[in-house]
Amino acid sequence: MQILKPKPRYRINYKAVSNHLGVKLRGNETFDELLKIEQQVKWRDSKDNPNASFREDEKREREANIQRVDAQTKKYWGKK
């Protein structure tokens, strides 16, 4: 008589999780490791982190640069 091992009931979509967390994954992380990574990402972006304000400044600067480039291209190429 052969004993069958139960198959896992879920599969982790590492690509979707990577996009959600905003970090690259190896592809073999366990669920517990993914939870720890999620906590680290949340802390990195939280207000308790002293470096979080720098990240917000970078985001604002990046958005301003994008808007400036958009305005320049519209000026050069015209609206279509």
Q: 39 and 60 in one domain?
A: no
Q: What is the pTM of this model?
A: 0.48
37 closest CA partner among 57, 12, 62: 12
5 pLDDT more than 80: no
Provide the residue range defining the domain that includes 59. Answer: 52-80
When pLDDT is cut at 50, 70 and 90, the band that residue 54 belongs to is low
> Who's near 38: CB < 8 A, 6+ residues apart?
21
Domain-located, residue 68: yes
Q: 38 and 17 in one domain?
A: yes
Domain-located, residue 58: yes
Domain-located, residue 32: yes
Number of domains in the chain: 2
Domain-located, residue 71: yes
